[in-house]
Amino acid sequence: MQVSSITPFELHGVEQRFGRRVVLRRVDLRVEAGEIVGLIGVNGAGKTTLLSIVAGLLQPTAGQRRFGSSSDGDVRLHHRARMAYVAHTPQLYPRLSARENLEIFARLRGARS
């Protein structure tokens, strides 16, 4: 895959609340094609929440998420096909074998056998 084919993303004023608790406040972030970004912080700083928003697993309470020229903030299939997200807890189907988990995720991503 060419680096130029990767869609950059931006977050503008992203906030996330869980009830009365504010987890993210006015986060602005822009990641260009081919750029590598690391997030560091103490437990509870909001790293997982931020990555969940970027991956489209969580909708922000406020602010905008943008991929390339798309302004609606939806994380579409072609965006997800170009990103990976590894959570701190396993995101596997416990009743499937390791091979079966890999096969189902490969099929979901449209990978060839």
**Per-residue pLDDT reduced to its tens digit, 14-33:** 999 999 999 999 999 998 87
Collect all residues with Cβ–Cβ distance below 8 Å to 85 and sequence separation of at least 6: 51, 52, 54, 55, 57
Residues 16 and 57: their CA atoms lie apart, in Å, by 13
In degrees rounded to 5, what are phi and psi of residue 25? -135, 115
* Per-residue confidence (pLDDT) for residue 106, from 0 to 100: 83
What is the structure's pLDDT at 23? 93
Whether 73 has a pLDDT exceeding 70, the answer reads no
The pLDDT-based confidence of 1 (bands split at 50, 70, 90) is very low
Output the pLDDT for position 93: 86
As assigned by CATH, the class of the 3-86 domain is alpha beta
Q: Which of 57, 68, 1 is nearest to 30 (CA)?
A: 68
pLDDT in tens, 28-71: 999 887 888 888 889 889 998 998 888 888 889 999 988 776 66
